[in-house]
Amino acid sequence: MSNKLPEGYIKWVPRVSDIVSFIYPFEWENKDRYLKWLKSKNIDEDSYLTTAQTTGTYIHQIMEDYVNWDKTVENEEDSEIVKQTIKEWKLYLDAVKKKYSKAKWYTLIAEPVLRDAENRFQWSSDLVVIHEKRKEVIIIDWKSFGIAKSFFNLPNVYRKPYDKIKKGRLQFSLYWETYKQKGYKVKDLVLVYLHESWAYAYSLEQYTSSELDKILSDYIKSLAPKTPLLQINYYPKMFKLEILHPTVQYGNIKLSCDLKELDNWDTIPETLQKMCKTAKVVANEMIKE
């Protein structure tokens, strides 16, 4: 699995998916039960999850192309269930596009990359419908439901994915917060579940700004370095003084001083104080960039 960020993302700004995964670390109610179920079917966990991710990413790209250019580039070797899924989703998107794309003031955007005003998070949604005159948006995100099961000859039985709805509510509320900062009103947050023969949409309730502030604060605290903020190393044989300042995004910022260059050993405390201050300033500036 690639760790490469999508185009438009900034390396050190947390993604909404990172935050959601921190709050809801596993998509199912009981991870142990889920893993036991895979084992009972003689299915390798990594193989299954990789297949699920790869297939989901592929179908998402197909849908993005269909929104942007009214065409898709599909693999002729796709399984029948994937082909049927793509076919049904084209019909769903046709309905959305018919409703909004021809109407005045509406714009449809697939996978726009947006960031919180304070760079606390960044995200892209599968589809955003914008009414520029009324400054309203409808945010739509789709989830491929159980398609990976078809690759392992497992029955794809529908059940309401309440666990994913909880994740979706947080995910969409962070999206909503971004548009709110830009002066837009979010008319609706729609989480759509994709199956080879149906699409089921959930309209999700928003978190309040204060609730999101608490969640983001907890997430940021979880990233805090476990080592002291300033680590001071003294190497007497090398006549060297070194300061390390751990940061979440950039690892350790290191400043060093050659003590042989000091005019007077009495200035070491003053030098140390200046280095500590510099390390803090450098760390803070790097985080703000």
Could you tell me the CA-to-CA distances from 114 to 40, 47, 205, 220 in Å, in that order? 42, 32, 21, 19
Which comes out higher in pLDDT, residue 172 or 280? 172
Which tokens is 255 given? Answer: 């400043």
> 3-class SS at 165?
helix
Element (H, E) at 231: strand 231-235
Q: What is the pLDDT of residues 240-279, one digit of tens each?
A: 667 666 554 455 666 676 766 665 555 566 666 666 666 5
Quick one: average pLDDT of 222-249?
A: 61
Q: What percentage of the chain has pLDDT greater than the value 70?
A: 67
Which tokens is 155 given? Answer: 């029955």
The angle formed by the CA atoms of residues 75, 87 and 127, to the nearest 5 degrees, is 95
Which tokens is 214 given? Answer: 């608490």
Separation CA 118–CA 176 (nearest Å) = 15
Say which residues have a Cβ less than 8 Å from residue 110's Cβ, sequence separation at least 6. Answer: 63, 64, 67, 68, 126, 127
Separation CA 122–CA 119 (nearest Å) = 7
Q: Does 148 have pLDDT greater than 60?
A: yes
Separation CA 95–CA 113 (nearest Å) = 24
Which comes out higher in pLDDT, residue 162 or 222? 222
Q: Does 147 have pLDDT greater than 80?
A: no
Average pLDDT over the chain, rounded to an integer: 76
Which comes out higher in pLDDT, residue 276 or 220? 220
Q: Which CATH number fits domain 16-222: 1.20.120, 3.10.620, 3.90.320, 3.10.450?
A: 3.90.320
Residue 77 sits at φ, ψ, to 5 deg, of -90, 5
Q: What is the pLDDT of residues 30-40, one digit of tens each?
A: 567 777 878 88
Could you tell me the CA-to-CA distances from 173 to 30, 112, 212, 289 in Å, in that order? 24, 16, 8, 25
| Residue that has been written with the tokens 């019909």 in this structure | 91
The β-bridge relationship of strands 199-203 and 185-194 is antiparallel
Say which residues have a Cβ less than 8 Å from residue 256's Cβ, sequence separation at least 6. Answer: 240, 241, 242, 243
Q: What is the pLDDT of residues 1-36, one digit of tens each?
A: 344 556 678 877 888 988 888 887 755 555 677 778
